[in-house]
């Protein structure tokens, strides 16, 4: 068996693994990256970019469909499913190709192909022919879609996950989508607007990553009116009948059935750790055998093993994965001199229509920490620029700290959320007060003026009432 000795071994060549490799190289040239699948990140191949390509096609179709609202005569909208998916695949392959080209410029001795597993704390086996002895190890194995037990066995190739969608040659006639999280919402709405008969199944009324009850209620109302959305579906049971997926479920106590060509399962993703034989890594494993890493160092329990990206399950987003790769790779390279690094202000965006944004972890994070906060809000229903564009749906809620007046975070569903979310995340990272944000420029007429209304309301709640002694000199007591 071939034996390789390195200072740092990185398992996985996705967004986190690539940045971990580059960061480790600043400290040692004895680095190897082990990858068992095709090169090309989750984002480029089956995530961020192909999903936005599908959404862009859906937005074009939707714009044509609602053109008469503006007095513009539209000659009709025909969606060519094969042309849609051809562009999705071609552009997806272009994005993934950039990643592949980058990895293939690395020295050959820095790349190993095959599945890796722990044999001992510092020893990895790659396939059946190579052993890697590593001083430090970075786990950057990514994640995979979760499928409920028995569903795949029941449905066979009629069941698909989000990764499969971007390899389609054509759009199906009908799809059931199980899971109203970020992926489920984005794909269900896009497919619906492209002419696919869709029903989205959620649980407990939740909508994407939103946690503020007021914002969730508005979002649920918007999306249930936009497409068939069973937000409170219970006892979901798919079966295969005459080549169709029959979805049996209950909603508000009523049993229902509906058949579709396919079932798209988008109920979540799980870290790719099950084949690593972590029991041999000498780590203290948490529940379900998953190790817990420090988000500011990437290190697992003071050991020589680090984690980054979706495998760590901290925040499964590309910009977070690359940050974690830099942190874990640098610390693995300089080990044992591990350094803590502050993370960026949390920011999450959902590319539905209207979009959603969560800044600072939102309502749930503040509540979980026991933080005292005040809330300001603004509806987009009568917001000037939003009405001009006929995109006047949604609600923004902003949070501030009593006493200090510091901005703490926000949740919103509404127009331009991807841009407003960035403004708010920058303000949070700079530790601005709500009054400083109110005093910043807001151009007219813009959607951002809706945000200003929410901030002004919050500022009034946070500002202590000052007593003007001059005006009250002649006031009678109690007035």
Specify whether the CB–CB gap between 432 and 407 falls below 8 A. Answer: yes
Residue 463: what pLDDT?
A: 82
CA distance 163 to 266: 10
234 within some domain: yes
20 within some domain: yes
- What CATH number did the domain enclosing 218 receive? 3.50.50.60
Q: Locate tokens 């089956």: which residue?
A: 46
Structure tokens at 425: 């995340």
Check: pTM over 0.85? Answer yes or no: yes
Specify whether the CB–CB gap between 459 and 406 falls below 8 A. Answer: no
In three-state secondary structure terms, 453 is helix
Residue 286: what pLDDT?
A: 64
Question: Directed axis angle between helix 213-226 and helix 182-193, to 10°?
Answer: 30
Specify whether the CB–CB gap between 189 and 352 falls below 8 A. Answer: yes
341 within some domain: no
What single-letter DSSP state applies at residue 266? -
pLDDT under 70: residue ranges of the chain = 285-289, 464-479
Residue 116 and residue 217 in one domain: no
Residue 247 and residue 277 in one domain: no
Domain that holds residue 140: 2-39+104-145+270-334
Residue 428: what pLDDT?
A: 98
Residue 288: what pLDDT?
A: 58
Residue 1: what pLDDT?
A: 84
Name the residue among 145, 150, 154 with its Cα closest to residue 246. 154
Any idea what the Cα angle at residue 408 is, between residues 403 and 409, rounded to 5°? Answer: 150
Residue 7 and residue 139 in one domain: yes
Residue 290: what pLDDT?
A: 72
Residue 287: what pLDDT?
A: 58
Q: Locate tokens 């994070």: which residue?
A: 365
- What CATH number did the domain enclosing 375 receive? 3.30.390.30
Domain count, the chain: 3
In three-state secondary structure terms, 306 is strand
Residue 254 and residue 299 in one domain: no
Structure tokens at 96: 């993934």
CA distance 345 to 370: 19
């Amino acid at each position: 068996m071939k034996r390789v000795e390195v200072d740092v071994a990185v398992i996985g060549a996705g967004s986190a693994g690539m940045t971990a490799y580059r960061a480790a190289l600043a400290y040692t040239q004895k680095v190897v990256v082990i990858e068992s699948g095709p090169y090309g990140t989750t984002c480029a191949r089956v995530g961020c970019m192909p999903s936005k390509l599908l959404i862009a096609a859906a937005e074009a179709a939707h714009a044509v469909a609602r053109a008469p609202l503006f007095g513009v005569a539209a000659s009709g909208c025909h969606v060519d499913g094969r042309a849609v998916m051809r562009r999705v695949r071609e552009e997806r392959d272009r994005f993934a190709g950039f990643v592949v080209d980058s990895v293939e410029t690395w020295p050959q001795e820095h790349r190993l192909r095959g599945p890796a597993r722990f044999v001992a704390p510092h020893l990895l086996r790659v396939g059946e022919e190579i052993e890697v002895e590593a001083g430090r190890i970075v786990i950057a194995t990514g994640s995979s879609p979760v499928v409920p037990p028995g569903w795949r066995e029941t449905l066979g190739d009629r069941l698909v996950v989000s990764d499969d969608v971007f390899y389609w040659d054509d759009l199906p006639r009908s799809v059931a989508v199980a899971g109203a999280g970020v992926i489920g919402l984005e794909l269900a709405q896009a497919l619906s607007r492209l002419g696919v008969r869709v029903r989205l199944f959620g649980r407990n009324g939740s909508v994407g990553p939103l946690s503020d009850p007021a914002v969730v209620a508005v979002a649920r109302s918007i999306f249930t009116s936009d497409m068939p959305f069973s937000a409170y579906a219970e006892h979901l049971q798919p079966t295969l009948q005459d080549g169709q997926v029959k979805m049996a479920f209950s909603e508000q106590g009523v049993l229902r059935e509906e058949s579709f060509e396919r079932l798209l399962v988008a109920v979540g993703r799980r870290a790719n750790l099950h084949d690593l034989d972590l029991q041999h890594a000498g780590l203290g494993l948490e529940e379900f055998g998953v190790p817990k890493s420090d988000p500011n160092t990437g290190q697992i329990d003071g050991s020589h093993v680090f984690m980054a990206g979706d495998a760590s399950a901290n925040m499964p987003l590309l910009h977070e994965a690359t940050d974690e790769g830099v942190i874990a790779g640098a610390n693995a390279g300089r080990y044992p001199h591990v350094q803590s690094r502050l993370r960026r202000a949390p920011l999450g965006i959902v590319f539905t229509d209207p979009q959603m944004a969560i800044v600072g972890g939102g309502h749930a994070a503040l509540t979980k920490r026991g933080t005292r906060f005040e809330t300001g809000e603004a509806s987009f229903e009568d917001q000037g620029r939003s009405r001009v564009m006929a995109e006047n749906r949604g609600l923004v809620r902003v949070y501030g700290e009593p006493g200090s007046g510091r901005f703490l975070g926000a949740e919103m569903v509404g127009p331009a959320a991807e841009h407003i979310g960035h403004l708010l995340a920058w303000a949070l990272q700079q530790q601005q007060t709500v009054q400083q944000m109110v005093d910043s420029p807001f151009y007219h007429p813009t959607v951002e003026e809706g945000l200003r209304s929410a901030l002004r309301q919050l500022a009034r709640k946070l500002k202590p009432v000052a007593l003007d002694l001059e005006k009250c000199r002649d006031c009678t007591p109690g007035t």
